[in-house]
Amino acid sequence: MTAAKVIGRDGLDELLRHLAALGYRTLGPVARDGAITMAEVSSSADLPEGFHDRQAPGSYRLEPGQGQALFDWAVGPEPLKALVFPPRAVIWTAKPPSYHVQEVADDAPPVAVVGARPCDLAGLQVLGRSIGTGPVADPIFQHRRHQAFLVVVECTRPASTCFCVSMGTGPGATHGYDIRLTELLSDDGPPSYLALAGTPAGRRALGQLPGRPAQAADERARVERLAKAASRMGRSVDTTGLPELLARNLSNPRWDAVAERCLACGNCTAVCPTCFCANFQDTTGLDGTVRRERTWASCSDLAHSYIHGGPVRSSIKSRYRQWATHKFSWWWDQFGTSGCVGCGRCITWCPASIDITEEIAALRASDGAAPTEEEPEP
């Protein structure tokens, strides 16, 4: 365990230079197109100084602020999923005349992320248990996750849509990072950053940075900021017996109510850090080469439930129920973890303002309600 250190903005700049010198493609949060998005960054001047986000069901606003804080916002629309599970990837090719199948080795350069959130780290861990391990582990995920360098910045300003405290994933970070930063604000100067290494690579990087040894007062300031953030968490979910609650309420009439609002647009699955549905398509080029390509898909899409002659989830109700029940119930059976990390993105980016925390509370309130007539499904 390395001793914690307090660095300033010059330390952040040095960290970005150090990561670039090591050959990382370094991504960080930037204010772009009215949102916090992930883009290549080379200096702290690229980071969203003074910006705050304002989130609500179906609503996101990025507002310029007054201060010099760089991380005084919650989460943008992009989870880290795309870095390790790309939206489009060629899996294998087969060339004539043998048509021997050749797996395509992933050659993406190593990526460093400066400014990941604790719920983002948790999302990567959930994805790792889902697609990154076992006999059919995804080699792209494994390659990219293995070479990634992650600098997490703990959350000190949660959005109204966040519920990471309920899911045990934030606002502090306990593991899964190379370096952990906590932005400490000052009344009369720029913020400083309490930094702690979580891996040998993080320790080497931290050793290069200018700064001073952390004092007990710095750790106290961190604990206070995290406690304040936890107390300002916008939403909560009662997770008591949640997998069982969902599993025994497949016929609850609440699913009909939410289906009347759901547009089956797939936004909730696209922004979710753990959703991993995919389609596979084979195409043949003019030279006869066959390529198998994997693209992101969504369980809210009718076509994604199509098997041997027809869709198995023909109604929006059945597809929304599949998404929610998988996240909070069957994921435990399959992967031994929740499929939700409480980032709140599916609430903010739902054009119909559907709020999964509200849906779960409504199911709990109507636990065991008389079933409605089901559409025929296998």
Q: What is the binding site for ligand SF4 (CB under 6 A)?
A: 262-268, 271-274, 300, 327, 340-346, 350-352, 354, 356
Could you tell me if 214 and 5 are in contact, meaning their C-beta atoms sit under 8 angstroms apart? yes
Owner of token pair 């790309």: 86
Could you tell me if 279 and 297 are in contact, meaning their C-beta atoms sit under 8 angstroms apart? yes
Longest dimension (CA), the chain: 72
State the minimum distance, in angstroms, from the CB of residue 199 to ligand SF4.
25
Which of 377, 374, 378 minimizes the C-alpha distance to 253?
374
Which lies closer to ligand SF4 via its Cβ, residue 5 or residue 326?
326
Which lies closer to ligand SF4 via its Cβ, residue 62 or residue 324?
324
**H-only helix segments in 214-293:** 216-231, 242-247, 254-261, 267-271
Which lies closer to ligand SF4 via its Cβ, residue 247 or residue 265?
265
Q: How many CB atoms lie within 10 A of CB 48?
A: 25
Which lies closer to ligand SF4 via its Cβ, residue 151 or residue 346?
346
State the minimum distance, in angstroms, from the CB of residue 293 to ligand SF4.
24
Distance between CA 22 and CA 212 in Å, rounded?
A: 24
State the minimum distance, in angstroms, from the CB of residue 91 to ligand SF4.
25
Structure tokens at 144: 């990219």
State the minimum distance, in angstroms, from the CB of residue 298 to ligand SF4.
7
State the minimum distance, in angstroms, from the CB of residue 252 to ligand SF4.
17
Residues 6+ apart with CB under 8 A from 152: 116, 117, 118, 120, 121, 173, 176, 177, 179, 180, 181
Which lies closer to ligand SF4 via its Cβ, residue 112 or residue 275?
275
Which lies closer to ligand SF4 via its Cβ, residue 179 or residue 354?
354
Which lies closer to ligand SF4 via its Cβ, residue 108 or residue 265?
265
Which lies closer to ligand SF4 via its Cβ, residue 20 or residue 265?
265
Q: Is 259 left (phi over 0), alpha (psi -120 to 50) or beta?
A: alpha
- The alpha carbon of residue 189 and the mean position of all alpha carbons in its chain are separated, in whole angstroms, by 32
Q: Rounded to 10 degrees, what is the CA torsion of 346, 349, 353, 359?
A: 0
**H-only helix segments in 81-215:** 81-84, 118-131, 139-147, 164-167, 200-207
